[in-house]
């Protein structure tokens, strides 16, 4: 079994954010037709065939991580930007420190978020298959949470 991953990308200035955004944006995945006419939602990109991209995103020195409305709107905007389909969104507020955990279940897979507002930190997973474009969520997350540092790891799930 092959393991494919990209090195983490650190972002600490606006110029670096623009460079990282350009680096992580990828072409839309192609859907292959099976011999029986059904669509195959595996992704084919750069000669590699896999189920989808799983982004592990860390936001540091971030804001609004205890604001459930901001988090919900941001997730909805990110889903739209990625051209994904929302099936269900659930967010839970913790007390006393105000952290929020939640998941957006997508037809293409999911986005999950866990926040530690007292540390200015959020852990976000984005897994999408098919023609969805998970990398397009990164600039939306960075901007909405005014994160000074963003690190991104990527796993090509189901690669063969």
Helix locations, the chain, DSSP H: 14-24, 68-81, 137-144
Round to whole Å and give the CA distance between 29 and 109. Answer: 15
CA proximity to 80, closest of 20, 26, 132: 132
Instruction: Check 90, 114, 135, 143 and give the catalytic one.
Output: 114
Instruction: Check 53, 54, 109, 135 and give the catalytic one.
Output: 109
Active site residue 114: yes
Half-sphere exposure of 69 (CA within 13 A, CB side): 0
Active site residue 112: no
Residues with a known catalytic role: 109, 114, 129
């Amino acid at each position: 079994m092959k393991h494919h991953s990209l090195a983490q990308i650190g972002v600490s200035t606006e110029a670096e954010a623009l460079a990282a955004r350009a680096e992580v944006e990828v072409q839309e995945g192609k859907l292959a037709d099976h011999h029986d006419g059904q669509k195959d939602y595996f992704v084919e990109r750069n000669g590699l065939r896999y189920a989808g991209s799983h982004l592990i995103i860390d936001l540091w020195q971030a804001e609004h991580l205890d604001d459930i409305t901001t988090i919900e709107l941001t997730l909805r905007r990110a889903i739209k930007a990625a051209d994904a389909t929302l099936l269900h969104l659930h967010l839970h507020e913790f007390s006393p420190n105000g952290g929020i955990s939640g998941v957006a279940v997508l037809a293409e897979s999911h986005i999950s978020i866990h926040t530690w507002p007292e540390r200015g930190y959020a852990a976000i997973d984005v897994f999408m298959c098919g023609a969805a474009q998970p990398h397009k969520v990164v600039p939306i997350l960075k901007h909405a949470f005014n994160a000074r540092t963003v690190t991104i790891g990527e796993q090509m799930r189901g690669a063969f």
